[in-house]
Amino acid sequence: MHQRPGNVSARSDVPPFYVMEIFGAAEDRRAAGLPVYNLAAGQPATGAPAGVRAAAVAALSADKIGYTAATGIAPLRAAIARHCRDWYALDVDPSEVVVTTGASGGFLLSFLACFDVGDVVAMARPGYPAYRNILASLGCEVAEFDCGPEQGYLPSVAALEALPQRPAGLILASPANPTGAMSPPARLAEIADWCRQNGVRLISDELYHGISYTGRAACAWQYDRSSVVVNSFSKYFSMTGWRLGWLLVPEDLRDAVDRLAGNYAICPPALSQWAAISAFDCQDELEHNVARYAGNRALLLDRLPGIGLSRLAPADGAFYVYADVSEHTEDSLPWVRTVLAETGVALAPGLDFDPQAGHRFARFSFAGDTAEISEAIDVLGRWL
């Protein structure tokens, strides 16, 4: 059925990503010369590693900036396969790797390849809002299940069994955004086994692998190679604006993902691909970044209770603290707007991540500068 010009279809009527509104308002405030303490941004304060930047310069000089294969250049796919071997002891063939335009492009390709209009896909609440919004725009039905403080912020087979109907897919993130919760290997194995036995396609969000404080996160392919693994150069590798990610794709989906990738984006950014090969040789610099995150995490977990924010998610990985702010507000969305306007401290509202209980929460990012984070706590504490 065709719509008249100017009408908006239901698939385009998705909620906004409120943190981007806060981020924009913070930058407007900075441009006006006012103080800003940006604890809203989910990106590292550091730039790409030196080796990556040098490789980009070399690629520019060599003029390797044309189209590539839809699934990425062979040297990068081989480097990602070696990375999987080194980190997880996984034997991954480069043909099983698909390079994508950021993890966002990877989610889009995964959802299109795995699910049909009307399919039910499960995800934890709180969780990354783009899952929900992309699936809704594709005509899928999202079944959210509670994964808050009462559940230890961890998904479980019991929660999946309690869903009103068996979903076609499950999105699982570990470490998770916004909570930083990490599924222990045994828990991940149990969920992967449940998905395999019940014909549920597991989409494993592993964007924050490498950024953890209680041990290394497990990869879903260690337990179920029929799952789709989504990863990115944005977080651990500190390459957000380079817009580069990757998938591990099971054989039955490979042709569909290849065809979709070519039609949707032609190819991932070529310059980013050539540069990213060097990212895997920058371990010392990247681990230095993680050590800084660990210090910032300790700072927040130590000092937030002292300013009246004591109910916090575990923050076992990623670079966020998800805080219950209900003692200070009944609705965290207008509250974070007021906090920014009156103090310059930018936070992400919980509504982004949880449409039901998110009004009680706000997310603090600790990916930034340590001194700025410390000053932000001082400023927010005085305001509270």
Mean pLDDT of the 306-334 span? 97
Do both 255 and 157 map to the same domain? yes
Across the range 361-375, mean pLDDT stands at 97
Q: List Cβ neighbours of 341 (8 Å cut-off, separation of 6 or more).
A: none
2, part of any domain: no
Are 251 and 309 in the same domain? no
Calculate mean pLDDT across residues 348-364: 96
Secondary structure of the chain in HEC code, one letter for each residue: CCCCCCCCCHHHCCCCCHHHHHHHHHHHHHHCCCCCEECCCCCCCCCCCHHHHHHHHHHHHHCCCCCCCCCCCHHHHHHHHHHHHHHHCCCCCHHHEEEECHHHHHHHHHHHHHCCCCCEEEEEECCCHHHHHHHHHCCCEEEEEECCHHHCCCCCHHHHHCCCCCCCEEEEECCCCCCCCCCCHHHHHHHHHHHHHCCCEEEEECCCCCCECCCCCCCHHHCCCCCEEEEECCCCCCCHHHCCEEEECCHHHHHHHHHHHHHHHCCCCHHHHHHHHHHHHCHHHHHHHHHHHHHHHHHHHHHCHHHCCCCECCCCECCEEEEECCCCCCCHHHHHHHHHHHHCEECEEHHHCCCCCHHHEEEEECCCCHHHHHHHHHHHHHHC
Residue 322 maps to a domain:
yes
Mean of pLDDT values over 207-228? 97
Whether residues 325 and 257 fall in one domain:
no
Is 5 among the domain residues? no
Give the domain-ending residue among 259, 281, 303. Answer: 281
From CA 106, how far away is CA 247, in angstroms rounded?
Answer: 6
pTM value? 0.93
pLDDT of res. 7: 43
**pLDDT band for position 290 (cuts 50, 70, 90):** very high
pLDDT greater than 60 at residue 9: no
Per the DSSP assignment, residues forming a β-bridge with 248 are 97, 229
Query: Does residue 174 form part of some domain?
Result: yes
Say whether both 317 and 258 belong to one domain.
no
- Do 222 and 346 lie in one domain? The reply is no
What's the pLDDT score for residue 11?
A: 58
- The answer to whether residues 66 and 55 belong to one domain is yes
pLDDT digits (tens, 9 = 90+) for 254-286: 999 999 999 999 999 999 999 999 999 999 999
Q: Answer yes or no: is 224 within a domain.
A: yes
pLDDT in tens, 51-85: 999 999 999 998 879 999 999 999 999 999 999 99
Q: Which of the four pLDDT bands, split at 50, 70 and 90, describes residue 5?
A: very low
Looking at the structure, do residues 195 and 339 belong to the same domain, yes or no?
Answer: no
Looking at residue 15, its pLDDT comes to 76
pLDDT score at 12:
60
Q: Is position 119 within any domain? A: yes
Question: Last residue of a domain, which of 239, 257, 281?
Answer: 281
Same domain, 242 and 319: no
- For residue 148, the domain's CATH number is 3.40.640.10
Shared domain for 224 and 371, answered yes or no, is: no
Residue 178: cis peptide before it, omega within 30 degrees of 0: yes
The percentage of residues in the chain with a pLDDT greater than 90, rounded to a whole number, is: 93
Q: Which residues of 12-22 are buried (b: 16+ CB within 10 A; e: fewer)?
A: eeeeeebbebb
Maximum separation of any 2 CA atoms in the chain, in Å: 58
Q: Which two tokens stand for residue 136?
A: 């809704």
Tell me what the pLDDT averaged over the chain comes to.
Answer: 94
Determine the Cα–Cα distance for residues 51 and 267; give it in Å rounded to an integer: 23
Domain span holding position 297: 10-47+283-383
Q: Is the pLDDT of residue 16 over 60?
A: yes
Domain end point (choices 248, 263, 281): 281
Sheet holding 348-349, edge to edge: 320-324, 361-365, 348-349
- At which residue do the structure tokens 């998938």 appear? 247
Report if residue 1 sits inside a domain.
Answer: no
Number of domains, the chain? 2
Do residues 222 and 355 both lie within one domain?
no
Per-residue pLDDT at 8: 41
For residue 10, is pLDDT > 90?
Answer: no
Band (pLDDT 50/70/90 cuts) for residue 196 is very high
Q: Tens digit of pLDDT for each residue in 99-154?
A: 999 999 999 999 999 999 999 999 999 999 999 999 999 999 999 999 999 999 99
**274 and 288 together in one domain:** no
171 shares its domain with 84: yes
Q: Which residue did the predictor score with more confidence, 10 or 293?
A: 293
Instruction: Say whether pLDDT at 2 is over 50.
Output: no
Name the burial class of residue 33, with classes exposed (0-12), middle (13-18) and buried (19+) by CB atoms within 10 angstroms of its CB: exposed
